[in-house]
Amino acid sequence: MQIRKVGVIGAGQMGTGIAQVCAQGGFEVGLCDVSKERIEAGLATINGNLARRVKSGKATEAERDATLSRIRAVPSYEGFGDYDLVIESAVEDEQIKRKIFQQLCPHLNAHALLGTNTSSISITRLAASTDRPEKFMGIHFMNPVPVMELVELIRGIATEEQTFTAVKEFALGLGKTIAVSEDFPAFIVNRILLPMINEAIYTLYEGVGGVEAIDTAMKLGARHPMGPLELADFIGLDTCLAIMQVLYEGLADSKYRPCPLLVKYVEAGWLGRKTQRGFYDYRGATPVPTR
């Protein structure tokens, strides 16, 4: 099947990024969230992102206007009745995702494909909560979506080859490079990345080095563009913890045990950039280490 209309559920950082790149790629896009206010905030974010692209010379005003014209607010799942593909991009919580699919499926046409932007949860298990596991796939975009070139594609045990082919062509049509992963906890990128971040937090927890020392060491010693603790703040410490819990529970290996300090930060509500405090405090002009 050919994908022309793409729905995105979740108007947060990832969802707005997905909606933006789909519209830039020429697809008609519908953006949905739990409230009108959140959808409007998401559309404002996209507008701001596109304005920065124009200012930096990466796009023209005409291209910006054309992109915005392809995105519309969809206030409820009923509005996705004629869409070819709907991508869920809600929080990394399996129960919330399953509930979304159960409420969404009755409103979709028989041929519609379903995707999830989960960064760690079993595709097979999520697919089983829908009425179309053979038309379900993991479509994991990287953050920030408009900048990062990679999309991980993950088939569940029931995913049909036609579904995979259609989604692969869709991702390539966005100008992305794809990496195909088997359906194992956290797939490829986060299976490698998050244990490194978790180990950096253990290094901090055990007093081996401070926040700045750890980030500087990895930036200058391993040529990483961003230190692991700075990166954790960018991802969101709640998301980091959720992925580590999926790895720990799914693979039953103690090397994936979430660091107690990560748990403590999340319990405190210090989730990184989105709450203005994580391993750095972002409330001033310059980020300051919190430990």
Catalytic residue among 117, 119, 120, 198: 119
- Contact predicate 72/8, CB 8 Å: no
Q: Is 190 a catalytic residue?
A: yes
Q: Which of 120, 122, 181, 190 is catalytic?
A: 190
Is 107 part of the annotated catalytic residue set?
A: no
Instruction: Give the H or E element holding residue 7.
Output: strand 5-9
Say whether the peptide bond before residue 144 is cis (omega within 30 degrees of 0): yes
What is the tens place of the pLDDT at every residue in 257-266?
A: 999 999 999 9
What pLDDT is stored for residue 95 in this prediction? 96
Per-residue DSSP letters for 40-98? Answer: HHHHHHHHHHHHHHHHTTSS-HHHHHHHHHTEEE--SGGGGTT-SEEEE---S-HHHHH
DSSP label at 158? T
- Catalytic, 119? Answer yes
Q: pLDDT tens digits for 248-283?
A: 999 999 999 999 999 999 999 999 999 999 999 999
Per residue in 186-245, pLDDT tens? 999 999 999 999 999 999 999 999 999 999 999 999 999 999 999 999 999 999 999 999
* pLDDT for the residue 1: 77
For 23-82, write each residue's pLDDT tens digit: 999 999 999 999 999 999 999 999 999 999 999 999 999 999 999 999 999 999 999 999
Residue 39 confidence (pLDDT): 97
* Domains located in the chain, CATH noted: 5-181 (3.40.50.720), 189-284 (1.10.1040.50)
Of 88, 92, 152, 230, which residue is the catalytic one? Answer: 152
Q: Compute the distance between CA of residue 68 and CA of residue 173 in angstroms, rounded to an integer.
A: 18
Q: pLDDT digit string (tens) for 105-145?
A: 999 999 999 999 999 999 999 999 999 999 999 999 999 99
Count other Cβ atoms within 10 Å, centred on residue 172: 13
The whole model's pTM is what?
Answer: 0.92
- In the structure encoding, which two tokens stand for residue 272, read together? 């990184």
Which is catalytic among the residues 89, 120, 140, 181?
A: 140
